[in-house]
Structure 1
Amino acid sequence: MGTSLTRRVFLLGSAGLAAGCAAPGSASGGPVTVEMWHGQEDTALDVLKGLAADFERTHPGIRIDLGGGVLADAMLQKITAALASGSYPDIAYVFGSDLASVARSPQAAEMTEVVDNGPDFWPAAREAVTINGRIRAVPALLDSLAVVCNKALFAQAGLPLPADDWRWPDFVAAAAKLTDASAGRFGTAWPGVGDEDTVWRLWPMVWDLGGEIIAKDGKHIGFAGDTGVRALEVVRDLAAAKSVYIDPKSGSDQMYQAFQSGAIGMVPTGPWKLPDIVDAGIDYHVVPLPTFTGRPVTISGPDTWTVFDNGTERVQAARTFLSWLTAPEQDVRWDTGAGSLPLSHGAQALPEWQKATEETEGLSVFVTALDSARVKPVHPAYPQISQAVGVAIVSVLLGQASPADALRDCAKVADAALLIPR
């Protein structure tokens, strides 16, 4: 799900380090250098560079090195190799879905003090960095999923814009009415590669229906019955009506380009796409995800700043930087500059964020959705579960399997992954 997020200030350790105080230098007398594999590019990286420079001015005992690493999509492979070689960074940007695998390393430092002494992180952000009751990273990104509608296409189809309490059958019906094959227009879109971008859009349906990704016994998926079938039936119905554009390439760029060119009526997406939609000149409307039950639910895909142990000085310096970085005053700079949601109620309340929501149509819908947001389980078998679900969704999208058959095959693979000792 990946795209953006950020920071905070509070006491660390028994002595503590306030935001305005300089952290001690290294034992040799010089500054402690924190190597950070940031995972960012373009605008987000520029914002992070500015924040790091400001931190160094107020903390002369710590230097932040942003020179290494790779983009976030390749971070897991890079970190895995680095840990195996014994040469790893102090901080890395790790996707939330990869944290369970990375945190198994004894080099991954615990971050309980940083998060507990930090701001009032949204529950989804805390949950995403907690494994077996221990906080293993610091929240770095926070988003949510909602539906962005093209107002002009709704008007052209004679459809009222969706209300906040709409249901999935309403979504399917609207998609059919918005579709015009002769004009090359689709009602909605869905990634069709089978990757995590394909999968995470299904989980709010599963949760809404009372299912779980992993059952309480930890040995089976928690959506193998009617829950999973009903969710996949939405996908089937969209495909059967030929009202869904299936993006054949990873990254979902084609479906977003089609939406921005006026060829798609509505698309479930996150707040990171709003700047592109605004730039494309689309007159749009944002509504929460539909539900089956009337209970609001969405998904958040928090990513993390994970710290690795290169000695006490560097771990303490990394914690100091992340405490400062995730403080509301810094967080709101990242949010407004790099297109993310605030990590905490404190950042949300700041005038800078309130101004951003006033200036950007629909942004407040994504923030409000955080009240009902859930996250994927931080479990080492999740990548295998996701892969199996991705195959199931694509097979239903392409009409190659019924929801029940696709789910049965998915359960065999996913349950087997859960039984592998880790």
Structure 2
Amino acid sequence: MFRSSAPHTTHLRRGLALGVTVIAAAAVLTGCASSSGGSSKLDTKAKVDLTVWSGQNDQAEKILEGLAAQYEKLHPNVKIALSPGASSTDELLQKLSASFAGGTYPDVSYTFGSWASQLERSNRTLDITKEVAKPGVKWDEFTSAARATAQPTGKKTIGFPAVVDNISLLYNKTVFDKAGLAYPTKDWTWDQFRDAAKKLTDSSTNTYGYGYSVSGSEETTWQLWPHLWQNGGDILSKNDTKAAFDSPAGVKAVSFLRDMAVTDKSVYLDQTDTKFAQLFESDHIGMITSGPWELSALKTAGTKYGVVQLPGTNGDHQTVSGPDVWTLFDHKDANRSYWSTQFTEWLTSAAQDEKFNVAIGNLPLRSSEANSPAFQAAEKALPGMDVMQANAANAKKARPTVPGYVGLSTAVGSAVSQVLQGQGTPAAALKTASSAADKALAQN
């Protein structure tokens, strides 16, 4: 599928790599011409043509094409033109921006969650708040982070969750066994984690207890958020206009990582975003915090591993998630609005999701899928998927989707990277990052 071309690129980092492209697109999104409109009265028997951009290719695209064909058989009056929409998922935002200006935008499109606020600001999205409130939709089966991403400002619901993920603690059994240490448990604290990382580190064999990115990218930034949240901190102010991570909770979070990296020297500091996972696979790192995208590579490498939820602070085991969204767009046509909503609701139902997300190795969208035969088979093929699915309950807060988050992420990533490499103090670095983040938020 398009979403991740590099083997260890995460759902959370996808979309942020656009950098300037995302920011430039945001300016385009805010001032586009309106759609010419269509039927003002709903006729559920009228013939309807829908355009869906999937953001996928290969296996995932073929599965979606099959599901679209199945839906057409169930509803003969509905025709669905489904295609990837662009040459890569990253390019969909730019494609959507251009289509808004020309009035050629689709009815439904796969979108990165990091674009959600920008898309709502385009005034092109369809508000389905009333639809998802219906008991039959079972909206509460989606994680709170996924629901919040589909409701970026809390005023409108612009779509249904498309992909959900989270990060858990992965441990290398070979490295633990060699060090004579007991495996991590779901009740671990960060102090226990730090102690184990020190004991796992062996300079004579180039083995480290933990791996962390210091590239300064979103890979660096999003790994910090669980530490921040577990210590009672927030990324943004309540009105989402100012940075809030420069706080006692933020300093404590960065100080913990700094102490592991600089004082204990138990952290492999990865400049590439990918090397730490490869070293974990080859038994040179004892622990990483990663998600379901890593499990297939571990299976291929033959790594002996285990998975538990993240260590906690005072019993708080919050994690971070990067949900993507099937975003719906408004063409001022009652029939298109109705059927695009119905199709997307059907596509994200438990029965169909098992044929898509579960089939391609993603976590299931809905909590009700946890005990399904399809997911049990997926967990058997990729051990640890069940733990990651259960860990979705710890994804309580959504990563911000405001346009200024790109600049905020860059500022935080740079600060954390510098501190973990022994440059500056956590307090000073976060203060500088907060100033840069506020400027980015103000510009957008």
| TM value normalised by structure 2 | 0.83
Matched with 1:93 is 110
Q: Is 1:58 matched up with 2:79?
A: no
Matched with 1:121 is 142
Out of 407, 421, 434, the position equivalent to 1:384 is 407
User: How many angstroms apart in 2 are the aligned matches of 1:300 and 1:171?
Assistant: 21
Question: What is the 5 A alignment of 1:34-53?
Answer: 34-53=50-69
Q: Could you report, residue by residue, the CA deviation over 1:335-357 in whole angstroms, capped at 9, with x for unpaired residues?
A: 32122222222333433223433
Matched with 1:205 is 227
CA spacing shift, 1:76–1:169, aligned 2, 3 Å: farther
1:80–1:102 contact (8 Å) kept in structure 2: no
Out of 390, 395, 404, the position equivalent to 2:418 is 395
Q: Is 1:325 matched up with 2:347?
A: yes
Matched with 2:11 is 2
Structure 1 residue 176: deviation in Å?
A: 2.4
User: How many angstroms apart in 1 are the aligned matches of 2:97 and 2:207?
Assistant: 43
Out of 265, 268, 271, the position equivalent to 1:242 is 265
Bigger shift: residues 133-142 or 114-123:
114-123
CA spacing shift, 1:396–1:45, aligned 2, 3 Å: farther
Q: Given residue 148 of structure 1, which amino acid in structure 2 is its aligned partner?
A: L
Structure 1 residue 74: deviation in Å?
A: 3.2
Out of 178, 184, 188, the position equivalent to 1:156 is 178
Matched with 1:214 is 236
Matched with 1:271 is 292
SS at match of 2:52: strand
Matched with 1:223 is 245
SS at match of 1:304: strand
Q: Is 1:307 matched up with 2:324?
A: no
2:411–2:436 contact (8 Å) kept in structure 1: yes
SS at match of 1:273: helix
CA spacing shift, 1:304–1:149, aligned 2, 3 Å: same
Runs of 4+ in 1 over 6 A off after TM superposition: 13-17
1:38–1:71 contact (8 Å) kept in structure 2: no
Identity among equivalent positions (%) equals: 37
SS at match of 1:212: coil
Matched with 1:8 is none
Matched with 2:385 is 363
1:172–1:237 contact (8 Å) kept in structure 2: no
1:190–1:247 contact (8 Å) kept in structure 2: yes
1:56–1:64 contact (8 Å) kept in structure 2: no
Q: Is 1:256 matched up with 2:265?
A: no
SS at match of 1:299: coil
CA spacing shift, 1:391–1:54, aligned 2, 3 Å: same
Structure 1 residue 198: deviation in Å?
A: 1.9
1:24–1:62 contact (8 Å) kept in structure 2: no
Question: What is the 5 A alignment of 1:70-219?
Answer: 70-117=87-134, 118-119=137-138, 120-130=141-151, 131-216=153-238, 218-219=240-241
User: How many angstroms apart in 1 are the aligned matches of 2:230 and 2:224?
Assistant: 10
2:370–2:386 contact (8 Å) kept in structure 1: no
1:114–1:323 contact (8 Å) kept in structure 2: no
Q: Number of residues paired by the alignment? A: 399
Structure 1 residue 358: deviation in Å?
A: 4.7
Matched with 2:18 is none
User: How many angstroms apart in 2 are the aligned matches of 1:190 and 1:44?
Assistant: 30
Q: Given residue 338 of structure 1, which amino acid in structure 2 is its aligned partner?
A: I
Q: Given residue 59 of structure 1, which amino acid in structure 2 is its aligned partner?
A: H
User: How many angstroms apart in 1 are the aligned matches of 2:89 and 2:289?
Assistant: 22
SS at match of 1:364: helix
Q: Unaligned 5+ residue runs, structure 1?
A: 4-12, 18-22, 27-31
User: How many angstroms apart in 2 are the aligned matches of 1:272 and 1:35?
Assistant: 29
SS at match of 2:306: strand
Q: Given residue 198 of structure 1, which amino acid in structure 2 is its aligned partner?
A: T
Alpha-carbon RMSD across the aligned residues, in angstroms, is 2.5
Out of 328, 352, 357, the position equivalent to 1:335 is 357
Out of 308, 320, 340, the position equivalent to 1:287 is 308
CA spacing shift, 1:393–1:75, aligned 2, 3 Å: farther
